[in-house]
Amino acid sequence: MPDRSFLDWPFFEPRHREWAEKLDAWCAANLPVDHHDVDAACRELVAMLGRDGWLKPTTIDTANPAPLDVRVLCITRETLARHDGLADFAFAMQGLGTGAISLFGTDTQKEWLAKTRAGKAISAFALSEPRSGSDVANMDMAATKDGDLYVLDGEKTWISNGGIADLYVVFARTGEAPGAKGISAFLVPADTKGLTVAERLEVIAPHPLARLSFECVRVPSSAMIGKPGEGFKIAMSVLDVFRSTVGAAALGFARRALDESLKRVAERKLFGAPLAELQMVQGHLADMALDIDAAALLVYRAAWTKDSGAARVTREAAMAKLFATDSAQEVIDKAVQLHGGDGVRKGHIVESLYREIRALRIYEGASDVQKVVIARQVLADVSK
Ligand SMILES: Cc1cc2nc3c(=O)[nH]c(=O)nc-3n(C[C@H](O)[C@H](O)[C@H](O)COP(=O)(O)OP(=O)(O)OC[C@H]3O[C@@H](n4cnc5c(N)ncnc54)[C@H](O)[C@@H]3O)c2cc1C
């Protein structure tokens, strides 16, 4: 039985505990799905999650508008990741892909949200480019005004759900000012003429991912999300909500690694006794449990702070993402070690966790970038 005691922490309300318990039972009954065809698996997961109501927290509800509940987003990602990394991915992208619309969209743009929450449309967040991943304010993609249209030209890469998405939130340079202040956000339906998948990208933990080409893609001015020049601010506001949830996914992977390790060391007998009786093994287990609790405290502190009305949680979210993803990598590495040869055997759960965790330390701001963000915040605090 996985440790659920963290749900008694004061960060949570009874509704969070109830959601976690129901979702856990749903996951046990429905996951994992067959991953052999990741596109089909993702479509199936989005449809299943939408059908059974689990995508509701990914967007605001236009009928009953309330801020996005970051604690629910984190609990959901943690729980899904513990059962199936691809299910977590399918859930997370419905939120990240529509975050700009939830936070800044017009009523017409928000009509998409009912479809994505129901699992009837798939969304994607298209920010990164070949020359600008970490250095995102340096993007090249242009959106040129032409009467009542904008014409988008350029490339986006590493776009999760690229190739299967129905809508893309795309960031492009509109040129109001140099750098970060000259970028705007656009809602671009996947079937818009001139938008094509230039390349499908394969990674160590497979999920739908693509490089996209935009050649003379014409969208109406009404496709702009927010105001001209606000795109960078919009992207950062979306990441401010969703960055802690990356830490929550890492936490789910780490908890699964510890659960698998606890079973393994109890069952596996070496030198006449269960592996669990060796003190060096106990040392590994203690380190793993400690890292998990520390990560959970940081993740749920960030989520609670945002839910409590903080305008920005840049420092808290950066700490949560950095610590939870880096420490999950260490927890999972220890799990692989404790499993011996089985730990690196293709198809074993800890082998897949070892592949799943790696990209989380790179996307939505690499670990090194999170350190820069934290340092800037603490330096700003002393100069106040
Ligand atoms: C699996 C996966 C899914 C992704 N999904 C999406 C998506 O859906 N949408 C999207 O827009 N993008 C997505 N990305 C892109 C992701 O956000 C970028 O890969 C990330 O921002 C890093 O950019 P880069 O790959 O260009 O690496 P670079 O920017 O070249 O950075 C390389 C490395 O340099 C170091 N570094 C960079 N900046 C600094 C700094 N300031 N200080 C110190 N060290 C630094 C870091 O170690 C970093 O990992 C995804 C990436 C992956 C791998």
**Measuring from atom 39 of ligand 1, which residue has the nearest CA?**
369
Residue 383: its pLDDT value, please?
Answer: 81
Ligand 1 centroid distance, CA of 361 (Å): 9
Pocket test for ligand 1, best of 197, 362, 364, 370 (most atoms within 8 A of CB): 362
Q: What is the pLDDT along the chain (384 residues), one digit of tens a residue?
A: 677 889 999 999 999 999 999 999 999 999 999 999 999 999 999 999 999 999 999 999 999 989 999 999 999 999 999 999 999 999 999 999 999 999 999 999 999 999 999 999 999 999 999 999 999 999 999 999 999 999 999 999 999 999 999 999 999 999 999 999 999 999 999 999 999 999 999 999 999 999 999 999 999 999 999 999 999 999 999 999 999 999 999 999 999 999 999 999 999 999 999 999 999 999 999 999 999 999 999 999 999 999 999 888 999 999 999 999 999 999 999 999 999 999 999 999 999 999 999 999 999 999 999 999 999 999 998 887
d(CA 172, CA 140) in angstroms, rounded, equals 7
Q: How many CB atoms lie within 10 A of CB 320?
A: 31
What single DSSP character describes residue 309?
A: T
Q: How many residues does the chain have?
A: 384
Ligand 1 centroid distance, CA of 130 (Å): 10
Q: Is 79 in the pocket of ligand 1 (CB under 6 A)?
A: no
Beta strands in 40-189 (DSSP E): 123-126, 142-146, 149-160, 167-173, 183-189
Catalytic residues: 364
Cβ-contact 98, 234 below 8 angstroms:
no
Ligand 1 centroid distance, CA of 139 (Å): 13
d(CA 175, CA 182) in angstroms, rounded, equals 4
Q: What six digits make up the tokens of 221?
A: 């001015």
Which atom of ligand 1 is nearest the CA belonging to 171?
11
SS3 of 168, please? strand
Q: What six digits make up the tokens of 358?
A: 């790696």
Residue 341: its pLDDT value, please?
Answer: 98
Ligand 1 centroid distance, CA of 366 (Å): 6
Q: Which of 244, 247, 252 is nearest to 360 (CA)?
A: 247
Phi and psi dihedrals of 147, rounded to 5? 65, -125
Q: Is 126 in the pocket of ligand 1 (CB under 6 A)?
A: yes
